[in-house]
Amino acid sequence: MLESLLPADGAAALPAITANAALELAPVRVNAIAAGFVDTPLSARLLGDELEHRRAELRATLPIRRVVGPSDVAALARHLMTNTALTGATYDIDGGQQLIP
């Protein structure tokens, strides 16, 4: 949600903003979920005819060899809500896309 408040090139600042907010708002916990491509109806509408090509490309190149789905993001959000020791971190959920050069 915070990412939507940042300019497009400001997304790189998300980890720093998250860490600073966690310090400033403690003991309130602050974490961020930084999702890559997530296969949703919205992404299907945005990609249109390119959707199947993008899915195939991700399955072939991502280390997890599958496309990230909404249930993956939901599982991470649930984990962050239930593990009360986590704060000040940004969690990438992109199937390992950031690992690929």
Q: Report pLDDT digits (tens) over 34-90.
A: 999 999 999 999 999 999 999 999 999 999 999 999 999 999 999 999 999 999 999
Asked if 87 and 31 count as a contact pair (C-beta separation under 8 A), the reply is yes
Amino acid at 93: I
Q: Report pLDDT digits (tens) over 1-38.
A: 444 555 555 678 999 999 999 999 999 999 999 999 99
pLDDT value at residue 79:
98
Asked if 30 and 22 count as a contact pair (C-beta separation under 8 A), the reply is yes
Report d(CA 27, CA 32) in Å as an integer: 16
Report d(CA 79, CA 1) in Å as an integer: 17
